[in-house]
Amino acid sequence: MTGTCTFCGIVAGEVPAEIVYSDEHVVAFLDISQATRGHTLVVPREHCRDLTDIGPDRAGLLMRGAVHTAGLLRRALEPGGMNIWHATGATAWQSVFHFHLHLVPRYAPDDLRRAWTHRELPLSSLTPVADQIRAAAERRPDAS
């Protein structure tokens, strides 16, 4: 899928990138739009569109690569913390439709803005949503 997918092109070596880690399952490279110094993307070598397409086995291998890459970022850049971010679907701000995790080193509490505002709800208000999710699982158990 290298012809239409930038990340497949990076994995194939056809699109230039600053690769900081790779193994047989993943490639990690610096995001061209650095949110903070060292902002890194971790992608599976095999194309999959998003979280609903990656499958649990490939997701596990990708997370293993992300944990390894996070360790490299911590040792090299010594951030005070790190965020991991993922978006599935255009509504959630996914802009490249090849599954990827963002590893964003954090150097100060205010070097990024929060993606949402925290507001605690009464637990009872969550019951209808939880019931809807549980009902979906009963109708069609996840095959992944």
Residues belonging to the active site: 100
Instruction: Give CA–CA dist 44/63, Å, rounded.
Output: 10
SS3 at position 18: coil
Which residues on neighbouring strands pair with residue 30, listed in sequence order?
40
Instruction: Give CA–CA dist 62/65, Å, rounded.
Output: 5
Which residues on neighbouring strands pair with residue 28, listed in sequence order?
21, 42
Amino acid at 10: I
**DSSP for residue 38:** T
